[in-house]
Amino acid sequence: MRVIVVGSGLAGLLAATESAERGAEVLLVTKGALAEANTTHAQGGIAAALFPDDSVAAHVADTVAAGAGLCDLTAVEVLCAEGPDRVRELVARGVRFDRAGRGAGLARGLEAAHSAARILHAGGDATGAEIERALITAVRAEPRVTVREHAALAELVVEDGRVVGVELATGEIEGADAVVLATGGAGQLYSHTTNPRVATGDGVAVAWRAGAELADAEFYQFHPTALAAPGSFLISEAVRGEGAVLRNARGERFMLDVHPDAELAPRDVVARGIATEMAAQGGAPVVLDATALGASALARRFPTIDAHVRAAGLDWAREPIPVTPAAHYWMGGIATDASGRTSLPGLWAAGECASTGVHGANRLASNSLLEAAVFAHRAVADLFATPAGDAGRVATKERIETLSSPGEGLVSVRSAARELLDPADTVAERPTQPTGRRQLQELMWAYAGVQRSGEGLRHAASVLSSWRTDDLEDRNLLDLARVVVDSALAREESRGAHYRTDFPTPRPELAERRRRAREGAPAC
């Protein structure tokens, strides 16, 4: 079997390694260097019910509560029940989680909306970087994995309704029995984001154009506390978990009046609380006050954040630091089942680019790395369970070679991929107004950000419909911006991370996930 994995965060690296361990020949494709992934930037940790005073049931309850009535309970139960084993496997693969002391067990922290301290961390606040290091080492050591860095994904290749390979930005076609997308989120949709520059939603966009169903696109989570400085550096939720508090320009702890859990309320609540307070003080950021923790504790527990804050000329041990919400995590994405299957045969997805329903309308802190590990593992198990003799489901070795070789076969596959694009995307029929990424980001931040309204969303939709771009990443962002705005317009309520000022409360009759495919997409 030949498997193509696109993306090199936790989900992609794990899917590649586990596929190879099962005997597949794996091509791992990533548009940057291997370590250029959202996983590398994950600070807080990974949540799992590993301790005697915790339980899977409690983790399920916390996840469902944060999800604001939209979680897929089956997916949540899978996540929380299988999570501990996946974490143990990460340890076995060399991930060095922090210990409570010399010879002691794993250290753990508390984060917002968790009923127990269940957050494992590494390097204090460098959990993602440590996971990335260990899994890159594993991938590099696996002879069945071929790594292609600096190779951007352009389109999926589909024949007879089945994904049979990928087309790269270079024009090369790579064929496969199975394709696993693990390309992360699309934080670059917004002018303020904690995500790296590579987070342009490539996997979700190509799946959308190929006809795959997306789900819950309106739900974009804004992290409450990014440093209010160029780069929007993430100030981990774990800082508030350790006791830091939010204050307005008058020095008041305003979150006490917003939610009983104050700074440790669900992320959507804290982000909106901050946004409201900023509006009341003329747009000036609020501040995060961590001075009570002390310089030595901040440096020991949060060395990465401490170094970055000090490099910005701030001494957070002595004075509060300015923070603002920033786009952080997309609950929406390619619709999958609990085994990572998409609506397109031959295509699986895992990690942030997938929408399993596990997060509902608002992701519980530190469930993202866990989701990537659990569902990448399940996707690999599922693709190997696909009957090898099922004609029309698994490409034969000869067909793969045809797809990957120059000649008539290559031309026909490229033509098939091009036919999947919207008619409006052909050069002759595109709108005439070009756009740059900054324009797109500012539009999305203003009208499809922390707080939205029907009027603003309709304005954004009108502007987006008139824009075009010839840049591959920006085209992906433009496609996804239209999907996010359309989905946000259609949900006439406020729920979780989706807040409409013209529909400020949840509507029970709308408590359902929404899946959608591109208009005119082939039936699967």
Cβ neighbours of residue 435 closer than 8 Å, sequence gap 6 or more: 467, 468, 469, 474, 478
Cα separation of 100 and 112, whole Å? 21
Residue 46 and residue 87 in contact, taking contact as beta carbons nearer than 8 Å: yes
Cα separation of 517 and 523, whole Å? 9
**The total number of residues written for the chain in this structure:** 524
Residue 75 and residue 358 in contact, taking contact as beta carbons nearer than 8 Å: yes
CB atoms < 10 A from the CB of 468, how many? 16
Sign, Cα dihedral of 438, 439, 444, 449 = positive
Q: How far apart are the first and last CA of the chain?
A: 23
Residue 480 and residue 516 in contact, taking contact as beta carbons nearer than 8 Å: no
Cα separation of 58 and 61, whole Å? 5
515 is catalytic: no
Cα separation of 393 and 410, whole Å? 20
Closest Cα to residue 10, out of 102, 156, 129, 107?
129
Q: List the beta strands (DSSP E) in 16-137.
A: 25-29, 46-47, 119-120
Closest Cα to residue 131, out of 340, 419, 373, 421?
373
Phi/psi for 236 (5° steps) reads: -50, 145
Cα separation of 487 and 503, whole Å? 15
Token pair belonging to 273: 């609380």
Residue 177 and residue 395 in contact, taking contact as beta carbons nearer than 8 Å: yes
Token pair belonging to 265: 């309320």
Q: Is 399 exposed, middle or buried (0-12, 13-18, 19+ CB in 10 A)?
A: middle
Helix (H, G, I), strand (E, B) or coil at 477: helix
**Catalytic: which of 267, 272, 495, 500?**
267
List, by residue number, the catalytic residues.
267
